[in-house]
Structure 1
Amino acid sequence: MKFEVKTLAAKNAGAIELDDAVFGIDEVRADLLQRVVKWQLAARQQGTHKTKGRSEIARTKKRFGKQKGGGTARHGARSAPQFVGGGKAHGPRVRSHAHDLTKKLRSLALCHALSSKAGSQSLIILDDAVLSAPKTKELRLSFAGLGLSNVLIIDGEAVNENFALAARNLPCVDVLPVQGLNVYDVLRRDTLVLTKSAVEKIHERFSAKEA
């Protein structure tokens, strides 16, 4: 499908052909997007939470109270979970929360995420994302002209240094090279901005997988 290309000054810069298999999926599957987002967030979860079990509590193991006649159970250690200061029963342990997800499913979910942005008119294609100087004020004015406030910007193999420096002072603005394109970051921002070089790399990426 044909898609309009704009400049940072919000002027027309021609059009570009987008692959329908990547940007033109009609029925976006929310279940795929949910699975991949869950996979991404699980992989970045630290998993350092921990509580002490009864074997790790430094308390006396001496039996307290009489064996019989006390009217209570015959406890042998104060480190049992039912006592204040005792160990935690079935508490969290240090572990990895990461789980596997097939490359085919992850790739398909990315196509659905890109298609959801294109279908909801939340996709903008820029001619390039280059600034002559790292001026945040200049970039803020450019974003205002394009109607951008909460945005993810994907450039080619390398992000222009001046553009990245100017953008990092703006809230709710993420700038990534095309290698960093992922489902979670696409969905967490209201608008997705791709440069022409990023679109070319995305097309190469998915055409290579089909071959």
Structure 2
Amino acid sequence: MKVQVKTLAAADAGEIELSDAVFGKEPRLDILHRVVTWQLEKRRGTARGARERSDVRRTGKKLGNQKGGGTARHGNRAAPQFIGGGKAHGPRVRDFNPGLNKKIRTLGLATALSVKAAEGKLLIIEDLAISEARTKAFITVMAGLGITNGLFIDGAEVNASFRHASANVPHIDVLPAIGANVYDILNHDTLVLTRAAVQALEARVNG
């Protein structure tokens, strides 16, 4: 499919041919759900487990006589009430590091890009070369493009001036092509790609 290319000044900069294998996939909600769930679970850190009673190596010998000692009738030093004893009902290790087939991850990325293209929320621009690295200049550019909530994806490296200018603007994120992911694409209203990003993403999906 052919898409109009804009500049940051909202001027026409020709057209670009988008691959149907990357930007023309049928929407698959099941694939998107699997990939987003996998991404969010990967973010979770592994909980640190505590040593419980069965994990502590302490004597099981009875501390004293059952009666006549004037103390409680303890029978094991590993009990939670003793210093060094096991923790009662402590946190246990839970591993949030699921696996997901690379084929599914790649299909999820292509599906997310296709959804944005089908919804008319995909904008292709020439590059991210901004006139000055200032927030005020960036807000002016965004007003001209009509973007208030967007994800900008550049090629191998993001333009340093553009990244600096957009750093303090809420609901705006900037990523290199290698960092493009399903969750961030779906989590923004508008997806903005540079020509370099389109080439990198098509190579990533088709490779």
TM-score (norm. length: structure 1): 0.81
Runs of at least 5 residues in structure 1 that lack an aligned partner in the other structure:
68-73
Question: Given that residues 122 and 191 in structure 1 are in contact (C-alpha distance below 8 angstroms), is that contact kept between their aligned partners in structure 2?
Answer: yes
How far residue 11 of structure 1 moved from its aligned partner, in angstroms, is 1.9
Opposite residue 10 of structure 2, the aligned amino acid is A
The equivalent of 1:71 in structure 2 is: none
Question: Given that residues 128 and 196 in structure 1 are in contact (C-alpha distance below 8 angstroms), is that contact kept between their aligned partners in structure 2?
Answer: yes
SS of alignment partner, residue 198 of structure 1: helix
Cα 1:137–1:50 change in 2 (3 A) is same
Q: Give, in whole Å, the separation in 2 of the partners of 1:86 and 1:135.
A: 57
How far residue 48 of structure 1 moved from its aligned partner, in angstroms, is 2.9
The equivalent of 1:5 in structure 2 is: 5
Opposite residue 144 of structure 2, the aligned amino acid is G
The equivalent of 2:113 in structure 1 is: 114
Aligned residues: 199
The equivalent of 1:39 in structure 2 is: 38
Cα 1:97–1:144 change in 2 (3 A) is same
Please report the RMSD computed on the Cα atoms of aligned residues, expressed in angstroms: 3.0
SS of alignment partner, residue 38 of structure 1: helix
The equivalent of 2:194 in structure 1 is: 195
Opposite residue 194 of structure 2, the aligned amino acid is T
Opposite residue 184 of structure 1, the aligned amino acid is Y
Opposite residue 22 of structure 1, the aligned amino acid is V
Please list, as runs of the form range in 1=range in 2, the aligned pairs for 1:54-203 lying within 5 A after superposition.
Answer: 54=53, 55=55, 76=75, 87-89=87-89, 91-93=91-93, 95-203=94-202
Cα 1:64–1:123 change in 2 (3 A) is farther
Runs of 4+ in 1 over 6 A off after TM superposition: 63-67, 78-81
Question: Given that residues 49 and 90 in structure 2 are in contact (C-alpha distance below 8 angstroms), is that contact kept between their aligned partners in structure 1?
Answer: no
The equivalent of 2:205 in structure 1 is: 206
How far residue 78 of structure 1 moved from its aligned partner, in angstroms, is 9.2
Cα 1:193–1:61 change in 2 (3 A) is farther
Runs of at least 5 residues in structure 2 that lack an aligned partner in the other structure:
68-72
TM-score (norm. length: structure 2): 0.82
Question: Given that residues 154 and 177 in structure 1 are in contact (C-alpha distance below 8 angstroms), is that contact kept between their aligned partners in structure 2?
Answer: yes
